[in-house]
Structure 1
Amino acid sequence: MAPAITLAADAPTLSSANTGFMLICSALVMLMTPGLAFFYGGMVRVKSTLNMLMMSFISLGIVTILWVLYGFSLAFGTDSGSLIGWNSDWVGLSNIGLTELWDGYTIPVFVFLVFQLMFAIITPALISGALADRVKFSAWALFITLWVTIVYFPVAHWVWGAGGWAFELGVIDFAGGTAVHINAGAAALGVILVIGKRVGFKKDPMRPHSLPLVMLGAGLLWFGWFGFNAGSWLGNDDGVGALMFVNTQVATAAAMLAWLIYEKIRHGAFTTLGAASGAVAGLVAITPSGGAVSPLGAIAVGVIAGVLCAMAVGLKYKFGYDDSLDVVGVHLVGGVVGSLLIGFFASGKGQSEVQGLFYGGGLDQFWKQCAGVFAVLGYSLVVSAILAFLLDKTIGMRVPEDDEVAGIDQAEHAETAYDFSGAGGGAARSNITGPVADSASKKVDA
């Protein structure tokens, strides 16, 4: 058959509607990182709150600069060996035209790159939840720098870059089940196996200090995730983005309910932490699969992910790894579940005509999904563990034990999340002056 001829009139032209839609989606994804900071920040003890917030916020700074300098080029530049990309014109983003379109789409390159930047930012931030209470902030900042360079940028190219081996194989990952969630979850497991447990793990109570903060963070994540998922189709012309939007809501609701029911049966109560965690598990699982499954399939994905992730969070006590805020149990397990279920529930009526086992497509897509899932999991786990080991043996990854016990916020940031000294009355709120006031003030400060 003769090759098709693309006429100039058929070439994509800039769409102001899609451009505006994608800029809004980019802003929504950016909001997810502060949302994650609140989600994690509420789950730790009071003495670690600020450090947990900062471990997410610092990613906004570091990854943005790296993306401009070379990250976008490595992830989405011209393919080399199906493993990495490169485009010297994109270094520093200095040779990109204002109206230059992303190949095959109706949005500018600048819009595509800023949308993908927000994915690159939140992925290492996800890892931080597994390391709560015990990691030097300077070591964490250096880890982010090395990790996104050696792990995230190449994996993003494998999965989404033209010529990447997983992309060419036909692995389906609509919005980041492998590149974001499995990648971050496996990295978290690799690092915690190197740096070890928190002081008092399985002995001291380590309950969340602010469940309202957790729920606020979960709400922001849920809201931002519509941009994360629906925006990943890079347009709004054919209904696939709308399908993904619907499936995001449906799977998240199903996972939250499934987690709560499991929790009630297993532990006897419906908890707010369970509701928040179940919602995030559903969001994670539908991220790779939402463009391929029907809304009924999304319910199945959500229910399965909600139950399996709820079961998985307890594995850390059985196997003895200290995943502080259940990054492995939710993001790694949820990402694996959502990615593999495509092989069963893909309807052939969404983002492509690929059908899963339950729709008559056999197991062909399932094996492709397995290849993508376990390659990313293995690579991220091993390389992340090596990076953590090297940093631990050079600059040290952990704070001293005394600082961990006293509180990492004061040790690393010279601040505390809550100023309890001004909560009472007395000299702090009186007009008394002189020695009596000085003495009262010293008692309050103590």
Structure 2
Amino acid sequence: MRNNQLAPLLLLLATTTTTTVYAQTQSAPNQTNAAASPIDSGDVAWILIASAIVFLQIPGLGLYYAGLAEQKNALATMLSVMLGLAVVFVQWTLFGFTISFSDKSSRIWIGDFAYYAMENSIDTQNEIATTIPNALLAMYQMMFAAITVGLALGGTAGRMKLFPTMVFVFLWTSLVYDPVAYWTWSNNGFLHKLGVMDYAGGSVVHITSGITGGLLAAYLGKRVDYGKRDYENHNPTYVFIGTALLWFGWMGFNGGSAGGANLRAVGAAFSTNTAAAMGGLTWMALEKVFNKKKHSAIGFCSGVVVSLVGITPGSGYVKPGVGLVFGIVTPIACFFAIRLMHTFRLDDSLDVFACHGVGGMVGMLLTGIFAQYSVTTIGVPSGASAGWISGVWMQMPIQLAGIGVTAGWTFGVTSLIIGGMSVCGLRLRSQAEDEVDGLDVSEVGELAYPFVPVPVSGDTYSAQGWV
């Protein structure tokens, strides 16, 4: 009787042991990979969400720019931003990500092709974001690359043809943005090794786009009627909606740059909001004092955007309340930079250099002052730096070096791209008569407002409009 009771138990034990050994044999490779590079589901969820809301910034930018532009160029302005997105997404998937963020490269200048066409990206992790897959890091950073070139195109709104624009976007992202991203954010990049502090893109995103927007504006020359009439922002409602989307998305832009759902993400998102709120109020006050306006909605929106630019490089390195300082200093600098650009008669259509170039530089310098060890050491085992407020006096010269290298590379290579395209017969600027008609007609063939009259070639402008 006792043997009869033991037999089923022994059979069950043998079956269980055999099944367990077989299961362990089959799953061993996956278990080894997981142990080496653990995935955190919370971090994955947050970066997925951050990627989605940063994506929203791109159509938000299109609306913001279209509202600031003229009616006859509204659709072309929005389309140029979205075309930039499409071109960058293709470029980034093919090779942009791997030369910008490959952790297999030991070079200080550029990454390698370990992740070409996103090869080996789903089941591997990057050393700069170890708890999410490489593919997710790539998707998140793809949004940064796409919005950067969209920002630059605002400098030429209303006078740059669309097909050459797409060629320019591909070349510029490959030769300007990707190397600067590697230098600054890759662990082996030489600016990263130097100690340049750029948390989410003050130099990589805003200085590069600002320099490029201003350079394109200078190269293409003034609009055909520049100085002959005042340009009006054709749709303040677009500007308002675009600003709201940009502000919302910037919490993912800066908060997601922490690489996971952690304390740094919280601090970055909070300081971002603080700076934006203060910046809107500051710019509105500047408009009232210096331009004798009322409570300008566009002025408020402009202040929000430039303050978001300013806080970007320091948001993960400063305490949330310091965002108030960024929200005061950056709008003041950008406001007077716009006035200076108008004095020099640089026809930067949407003031890209003054807002993003200057705003990014100011943010980098403020980061060199206000970055604190109590913030920069959060979640960092060793090697964290800080700014003047923590007694690190060398940080400001380092920040200046980062600004200088980024600006110099952007100016030089962008000039070569423009010159090369010109030699190859790819004319960037539209014809004079097309500018008068508007790029919605000449480049898109569709209108943002099909039932509203637009000017045609040969019309003249008076106080009552086009006649």
Q: Same fold judged by TM-score > 0.5?
A: yes
Which stretch has the larger CA shift, 69-78 or 14-23? 69-78
Is 1:242 equivalent to 2:273 in the alignment? no
Which residue in the other structure is 1:416 paired with? 447
Aligned residues with identical type, % of pairs: 35
Which stretch has the larger CA shift, 273-282 or 99-108? 99-108
Give the 5 Å matches for 1:305-320: 305-320=330-345
Which residue in the other structure is 1:86 paired with? 112
TM-score, normalized by length of structure 1?
Answer: 0.89
Which residue in the other structure is 1:430 paired with? none
Is 1:302 equivalent to 2:315 in the alignment? no
Residue 9 of structure 1: how far off its partner (Å): 10
> Counterparts of 2:434 and 2:34 in 1: how far apart (Å)?
66
Which residue in the other structure is 1:382 paired with? 412
Q: Of the two, which has the highest radius of gyration?
A: 2
Q: Which amino acid aligns with 2:357?
A: L
Work out whether residues 372 and 390 of structure 2, in 8 Å CA contact, stay in contact via their aligned partners in 1. no
> Counterparts of 1:140 and 1:9 in 2: how far apart (Å)?
44
Which residue in the other structure is 1:260 paired with? 284
Which residue in the other structure is 2:4 paired with? none
Secondary structure of the residue aligned to 1:106 is: strand
Which residue in the other structure is 2:213 paired with? 188
Residue 66 of structure 1: how far off its partner (Å): 0.7
Work out whether residues 254 and 306 of structure 1, in 8 Å CA contact, stay in contact via their aligned partners in 2. no
> Counterparts of 1:24 and 1:304 in 2: how far apart (Å)?
31
Q: CA RMSD in A?
A: 1.8
Q: Which amino acid aligns with 2:443?
A: E
Residue 392 of structure 1: how far off its partner (Å): 3.3
Residue 10 of structure 1: how far off its partner (Å): 8.2
2:302 to 252, 277, 285: 277
1:398 to 413, 429, 436: 429
Please list the CA deviations of residues 376-428 of structure 1 after superposition, one character each: whole Å capped at 9, or x if unmatched. 01111222122223323422111110110111110001111102169xxxxxx
> Counterparts of 2:33 and 2:429 in 1: how far apart (Å)?
59
Which stretch has the larger CA shift, 206-215 or 339-348? 339-348
Residue 112 of structure 1: how far off its partner (Å): 0.6
Work out whether residues 13 and 106 of structure 1, in 8 Å CA contact, stay in contact via their aligned partners in 2. yes
> Counterparts of 2:302 and 2:49 in 1: how far apart (Å)?
26
TM-score, normalized by length of structure 2?
Answer: 0.85
Instruction: Give 5+ residue unaligned stretches, structure 2.
Output: 1-31, 378-383, 454-467
> Counterparts of 2:407 and 2:237 in 1: how far apart (Å)?
33
Alignment: residue pair count = 412
Please list the CA deviations of residues 329-375 of structure 1 after superposition, one character each: whole Å capped at 9, or x if unmatched. 11001100001111211122113353322x24142111111111111
Q: Which runs of 4+ in 1 moved over 6 A?
A: 7-10
Residue 202 of structure 1: how far off its partner (Å): 2.3
Change (3 A) 1:247 1:268: same
> Counterparts of 1:9 and 1:44 in 2: how far apart (Å)?
51
Give the 5 Å matches for 1:14-413: 14-77=39-102, 78-79=104-105, 81-87=107-113, 89-96=114-121, 98-103=122-127, 105-237=130-262, 239-269=263-293, 270-352=295-377, 353-357=384-388, 359-393=389-423, 394-413=425-444
Change (3 A) 1:8 1:119: closer
Please list the CA deviations of residues 134-176 of structure 1 after superposition, one character each: whole Å capped at 9, or x if unmatched. 0111111110011001101111101111211111111111110
Secondary structure of the residue aligned to 1:105 is: strand
Please list the CA deviations of residues 305-345 of structure 1 after superposition, one character each: whole Å capped at 9, or x if unmatched. 01111111122211121110011111001100001111211
Q: Which amino acid aligns with 2:108?
A: S
Change (3 A) 1:309 1:95: same
Q: Which amino acid aligns with 2:111?
A: G
> Counterparts of 1:373 and 1:187 in 2: how far apart (Å)?
14
Change (3 A) 1:198 1:161: same
